Structure 1
């Protein structure tokens, strides 16, 4: 997926979860943050960031903050990007070998899954989770407790038992990571429900992404470790 009208800036601070202050062309600019998560390890004063200029003249902020450079690596933190990148990747044949139709926001049970896939040989629900939390090249999800995430995984188990294929796609919004694991320290219940889903037959997928100044593209598979980390 591509962005247009991007510029580089320097992160200053984040007064609330919706906006941040950056230094752009020597001036302080208030920008919209396209991720309401904590992102404390990403939004560090002095870090270089990428902004996309909005095209709606009526909006309150001129720019969206979409990516950050952490220790020399670009990390996309746009919470809308994983779904868009996943749809493009699937339509280009990134995972399923046959021609498929992709539908967004398909309701099933008490949940609305991000993507629904249909072809002559399959019917599949896919829930997409963007992953931005990284430490020592290990990536984790979630960065805050997510009861909604647990609900989605349980619904995946249910739809699989009803005869559909079910996938949880973890889109790691950066490149060159070692492996993915649940964030046992922050939300152990999410890790347990991932284990339950894997045992029930839900397919857990993790893929990293190429991230540039104006694009993010799903790239290579990343291994998933569901064992509880030492000391957690």
Structure 2
């Protein structure tokens, strides 16, 4: 399958030393550890762990506090992408190719549109029947025994997004949330109720009310990102 995206910058292989804060991981390449920006502020338990192989890209910006960007971590032979913002690009590229059955014939009208009441969501789409559809995209990397789980930290922001989608649905708009699992070693998706039971309950409630809930998986095979599963089973319980 043709790649969704290709990473065109240099990649360096290092080893995770530690994670001093949510947005920084220290990486050893040859000598002293270097600081790399971590674009995924999640807990990342089992992923960003000392001793794991990590791919980083040099950042040529003297004003930055970090000299590298963390790109992906090798977890038992599988590269796990640690770039949360990339989920939107992967979804949009798959959408443009009609590669996700649930969105066949849809097209992007606008990214990060303002909502009628307040705030923003990730995408405003035109549906095949010329209606409006709002889509929120969530990046997911936590996997246990083949089950992708979101969120891996408490997320009031995520709960607020679900409530906004449900309010839009009540106003007559088509709404969806899409979980982009940025690793391929997955068989199904579930909300991570042990971490955020309210999010899990809310996700089930809005789906029952008519909000579309979808999940897909991607694979990073350096330097390419590919769509692996275009319709990952979603189990809400």
TM-score, scaled relative to structure 2: 0.90
2:118 corresponds, among 107, 110, 117, to: 110
Residue number in structure 2 paired with 1:97: 104
More strand by percentage:
1
Divergent runs of 4+, >6 A = none
In 2, the alpha carbon distance for the partners of 1:97 and 1:134 equals: 27
Q: In structure 1, list runs of 5 or more residues that go unmatched.
A: 228-232
Task: State the 1:62 CA deviation.
Answer: 1.7
The aligned runs of 1:2-151 (5 Å cut-off) are: 2-3=6-7, 4-95=9-100, 96-98=103-105, 100-108=107-115, 109-119=117-127, 121-151=130-160
Contact (CA 8 Å) 2:57, 2:68: kept in 1 or not? yes
Residue deviations 1:197-222, cap 9 Å, x none? 11111111100002123333333121
Q: State how far apart, in whole Å, the 1-side matches of 2:220 and 2:209 are.
A: 33
Alignment of 1:183 onto 2:192: yes
Secondary structure at 1:89 match in 2 = helix
Which residue in the other structure is 2:207 paired with?
A: 198
Residue ranges of structure 2 left out of the alignment (5+ in a row): none
Using the alignment, how far apart are the partners of 1:58 and 1:70 within structure 2? 32
Deviations 1:81-112 (A, max 9, x none): 10111111112222333362341111112331
- Taking only aligned residues, the RMSD between alpha carbons, in angstroms, comes to 1.6
Q: Distance in 2 between matches of 1:81 and 1:103?
A: 17
